[in-house]
A = this chain, B = another copy of it.
Amino acid sequence: MTTLTPDMLVSGIRQSQRDEPDSGILSAVNHGFGRKGLIPLWTGEGPLQTPEFICQAASKAMFDGETFYTWQRGLPQLRAALAAYHEKFWPGPFSAERFFVTGGGMQAIQVALQLLADKGEEIVIPSPAWPNFPGPMRMMGVKPAFVPMLYNDRKWSLDLDRMRDSIGPKTRAICLISPSNPIGWVASREDLIAIRDMAREAGVWILADEVYSRFYYGPDTAGVARSPSFMDVCDPDERVIYINTFSKNWAMTGWRIGWLQAPEALGPAIERIIQYNTSGTAAFMQKGALAALENGEDFVEMQIEMARACRAKVAGALGQLNNVSFENAQGAFYSFFRIDGLIDSLGATLRIIDEANVGLAPGGTFGPGGEGFLRMCYLRDPDSLDEALVRLTAWLRQA
């Protein structure tokens, strides 16, 4: 017998894996998952299961035998449908060759990081930021160079000078999540042009997470109800990689299917990375995703309306509290609110699970500038959101 202690086993893994903290979102979920009556507002998903027509398309393909290995870049049909979808909302034209199907938006991020950045290099990213960007960076030894967002007078803004100053010789990319998870902030066209220009000047990539582009409550962009995009201001063949997913728009969070948009020239490298990470995405799932693109617009619009109504509810309820501060932000479907005097957001999150039976995410897990805040995903059916807000405001009043 050479049985090793847990500590000895863990000491034998990669340093960066030992050092990586747990995601605070996951810590909250693991604390409260399955608890009776709990209203889960901790992760970025709505209340609706995947629409039946999407399940039908996937199920049919599965029974029809689309259960073999398939194109590593994704089904040509789906890639063409992605191009057509983009032409409806963003300035094109878009070639199907620019699109790569991935095992979720998370896998798209992994592919992009593996493509662009190596150990010892850096990626600039405004903070607070979804931990699923800096987490995988740290795991591969890439340093997230955080640019703290400014929160003044209940309004978030990005300090472009500070972002420019954070670009150095080791910088490989600027990562921007807009609309932002967790803060809901939306980059203006002017912000995007400024970031584009600093990326061009430094010769670095832009990693653009535009997952929440349709969940946008501001004025139309170029006549379309969506947030401003790097696609509005960048050329097709410059150093920009877009991350996206079927998860949010079409209530497919659990499917793990997303996509990446990149210059065609990167196709062979991206295909290799996909091959050596997941070896592609199930063809039958892709048929579900194809149905989503072809027949899912009504569903997306219904979800956006639901989000808009929920957003108003949350602003109304939290706005009555003297010890809570937040921006009623223009994008995504999160409320990121600060509680006066809060210094341990994970502790508060666990207490709110225990004492109010509401699941939130701790602000501290979103990096510099996030501690003291909590994140609530408000995309929820109205009744359970009402109930969650009753419980939460009661808890916050005595906090």
A17→B67 contact, CB < 8 A:
no
Chain B minimum-CB-distance residue to A280: B256
B269→A17 contact, CB < 8 A:
yes
- A302–B276 CA distance with the chains assembled, in angstroms: 30
Please tell me which stretch of A116-124, A209-217, A381-389 contacts chain B, meaning at least 4 of its Cβ atoms lie within 8 angstroms of it: A116-124
> Which of B68, B141, B271, B282 is in CB contact (< 8 Å) with A49?
B68
A17→B272 contact, CB < 8 A:
yes
- A268-B22, A275-B23 known; A237 vs B132 contact (CB < 8 Å): no
Q: Mark A209-238, 1 if CB is under 8 A from B, else 0.
A: 000000000000000000000000001111
Please tell me which stretch of A99-107, A316-324, A336-344 contacts chain B, meaning at least 4 of its Cβ atoms lie within 8 angstroms of it: A99-107
A52→B63 contact, CB < 8 A:
yes
Chain B minimum-CB-distance residue to A52: B63
> Which of B15, B17, B252 is in CB contact (< 8 Å) with A114?
B17
- A17–B268 CA distance with the chains assembled, in angstroms: 10
- A58–B208 CA distance with the chains assembled, in angstroms: 34
- A205–B200 CA distance with the chains assembled, in angstroms: 44
Q: Mark A9-45, 1 if CB is under 8 A from B, else 0.
A: 1101111111010110010000001000000000101
Whether a CB of chain B sits under 8 angstroms from the CB of A296 is no
> Which of B1, B6, B205, B238 is in CB contact (< 8 Å) with A235?
B1
Q: How many copies does the complex hold?
A: 2
Expressed in whole angstroms, the minimum distance between the Cβ of A29 and any Cβ of chain B is 8
- Size band of the A side of the interface? 35 or more
Residues of B within 8 A of A276 (CB): 106, 110, 132, 135-136, 139
A279→B266 contact, CB < 8 A:
no
B104→A279 contact, CB < 8 A:
yes
Q: Mark A38-67, 1 if CB is under 8 A from B, else 0.
A: 000001010001101001001100110111
- A283–B23 CA distance with the chains assembled, in angstroms: 21
Residues of B within 8 A of A13 (CB): 115-116, 266, 269
Chain B minimum-CB-distance residue to A120: B119
Q: Which residues in window 67-126 of A have CB below 8 A to B?
A: 67-72, 103-104, 106-107, 110, 114-119
> Which of B22, B107, B117, B285 is in CB contact (< 8 Å) with A272?
B22
Expressed in whole angstroms, the minimum distance between the Cβ of A80 and any Cβ of chain B is 16
- A104-B278, A115-B17, A278-B104 known; A237 vs B269 contact (CB < 8 Å): no
B253→A69 contact, CB < 8 A:
yes
B43→A4 contact, CB < 8 A:
no
Interchain residue pairs A-B with the least CB separation, the first 6: A6-B265, A49-B65, A50-B67, A136-B276, A59-B59, A9-B265
Binding site for B on A (CB under 8 A): 1-7, 9-10, 12-18, 20, 22-23, 26, 33, 43, 45, 49-50, 52, 55, 58-59, 62-63, 65-72, 103-104, 106-107, 110, 114-119, 132, 135-136, 139-141, 200, 203, 205, 235-239, 251-256, 263-266, 268-269, 271-273, 275-285
Q: What would 22 A/B residue contacts be, using CB atoms closer than 8 Å? A: A2-B238, A3-B235, A4-B239, A6-B264, A9-B266, A10-B269, A12-B116, A12-B203, A14-B118, A17-B273, A20-B269, A22-B272, A43-B69, A50-B65, A50-B67, A55-B63, A55-B67, A67-B253, A69-B254, A103-B278, A136-B276, A256-B282
- Contacts A14-B114, A68-B253 given; 19 further ones with Cβ under 8 A? A5-B265, A9-B239, A10-B269, A12-B239, A14-B115, A17-B269, A22-B272, A23-B272, A55-B63, A67-B253, A106-B276, A110-B276, A110-B277, A132-B276, A135-B276, A256-B278, A256-B280, A277-B277, A278-B278
